[in-house]
Structure 1
Amino acid sequence: MTAAAQAPERIPSRPVVPLWWGVDAVPDSFGPCVVTVGVFDGVHRGHRRLIDHARAVGRARGLPVVLLTFDPHPARVLGIDRDTAVLTTVDRRAELAAAAGVDAVCVLRFTAGLAARTPDEFARDVLARGLGAAAVVVGANFTFGARAAGDVTTLATLGTGFGFS
């Protein structure tokens, strides 16, 4: 037997962060945080820019960063004609997010009920109350709420009322 054959197999270490399925799973003790929101289906360069910005905001405020993602892809539930093939599993998204410096991942089951929430309900129940967001980082084309009624401007306005920037 050669020395190489005798060496134990090296298992690559994978960063581990808390993975919460829904805001009800977030520990009460978690506290305020910076949240970045999106499908993050592959954590590509565009996603990394959002995560890097969220990390910078988190560092400046001394707060952890939470990546908020959805499963399944919203377009699948909404019946939008779009390629919604899964690029990565939720577990793999969490690994990639952890490697990018995120402190926790929260997955919302995307359902017709979630899709029907108004922007106000989503901002209040998910971002403010559920995650304790002090800041929210999204892309310029971000939309949310029933029929994509909310956008970045809506989020900023709601954030003022709910205590996040």
Structure 2
Amino acid sequence: MQIWRGLGEIPEHLPTVVTIGNFDGVHKGHQEVISRCVALATRLEATSVAITFDPHPLLVHRPDADFRLITPLEQRLDTLAETDLDATAVLAYVESLYTLTAEEFITQVLLEKFHIRGIVVGEDARFGANNSGNVNTLEAFGKKYGFAVEVVKDKVGQTGRRLSSSWARELLSLGNVSAAAEVLGHPHFIEGIVQHGFKRGRELGFPTANLDETSAGIIPADGVYAGWVRLAETSDERLPAAISVGTNPQFSGKTRTIEAHVLGRADLDLYGQAVVVEFIDRLRGMKKFDSLEGLLEQMDNDLLAAANILGVEPATRVEPTAVTAGL
């Protein structure tokens, strides 16, 4: 998939079929729209393109809002690259763009720059200054300027609720990562650089790869999760893990961290490397135990529960003297 960063990188005179959105999380609804965009582009002998924006419009219009992307731009592009799209165009969300009227956006951007033969959008699509354009105005412009318009009906979950990025964010804030995966169509993941921590885990037989709260992507609610760890650069191998999210109340921690223990492994040295942590299911909430022995007993149970959920061989805590990371 090609990536065009700005209108200046779009090839001249290339006919396209586009879909437009923020595509945060690239959830199942997004995937359906993208699939229909690719199909229409094939029929119209055009290039299929997703148009997205950076930064997210909410961060521009409501900079003080408590808002975090499910998948920041680079991770979003990686996920879009796994679809059948030919290209993704990243447009800077600046005043000269978002003050265009709906018709100016159609003529000055979609027609003059993208040379659209068609456009595919969801039922809730809005465009132009103050979101003045909707699917009805889009269909009217399609007739006026001679391009095809395809509107994809909302995709809903088992409860009948429309699949959306906001719903996925809500579920992640509750720690319900398995339900979030149903909305997204894939496990939620974060990416970050493994850092040195206090190394308490290795002393207890649970060495961890530590990420901090600045890692890319929404951090689910505090708790312990079953999931996978993989290297960002070589993503073929996925390592089963028990993942702790929180401030480590047992040791009066203040900073929120993500600590992933790869089941049964004492030989991994991931310091300074970019890793991806995938969340599969929540095992329990975060709590402070009455004793260290109580914590260790619970952590042993967490390892067994994680292995059972992930379908891998059970593992026990490792021998602290066998841990080689950072030596």
TM-score (norm 2): 0.43
Bigger relative contact order, structure 1 or 2 (CA pairs below 8 A, ≥6 apart): 1
Q: Compute the displacement of 1:22 (Å).
A: 1.8
Partner of 2:324: none
Q: Is the 8 A contact 1:128 1:163 kept in 2?
A: no
Q: Among 80, 83, 87, which residue is 1:104 paired with? A: 87
Task: Give the match for residue 12 of structure 2.
Answer: 28
Q: Contact conserved, 1:75 with 1:81, CA < 8 A, in 2?
A: no
Structure 1 CA distance for aligned equivalents of residues 66 and 36 of structure 2: 27
1:133-158, Cα deviation, whole Å (9 max, x unpaired)? 10001110111111111101111111
1: CA distance, partners of 2:121 / 2:66: 22
Letter in 2 for 1:132: H
Instruction: Identify the residue that residue 19 of structure 1 maps to in structure 2.
Output: 3
Identity %: 36
What is the alpha-carbon root mean square deviation over aligned residues? 1.7
Q: Quickly say closer, same or farther: Cα 1:84–1:132, change in 2 above 3 A.
A: farther
One-letter amino acid matched to 2:10: V
Structure 2 residues not aligned, in runs of 5+ = 149-327
Summarize the Cα distance change of 1:74–1:156 in structure 2 as closer, same or farther, 3 Å threshold: same
1:34-49 → structure 2 map (5 Å cutoff): 34-49=17-32
Taking a change above 3 Å as real, the CA distance of residues 58 and 83 of structure 1, as seen in their structure-2 partners, is: farther
TM-score of the superposition, structure 1-length normalised? 0.82
SS of the residue corresponding to residue 122 of structure 1 reads helix
Q: Give, in whole Å, the separation in 2 of the partners of 1:80 and 1:124.
A: 29
> Corresponding residue for 2:313?
none
Alignment of 1:83-102 (within 5 A): 84-102=67-85
Distance in structure 2 (CA, Å) of the matches to 1:83 and 1:70: 19
The runs of 4+ residues in structure 1 deviating greater than 6 Å are none
Greater fraction of residues in strand: 2
Greater radius of gyration (CA): 2
Q: Judging by fraction of residues, say which structure has more helix.
A: 1
Q: Which runs of 5+ in 1 are unaligned?
A: 1-16
Count of equivalent residues: 148
3-state SS of paired residue (2:112): helix
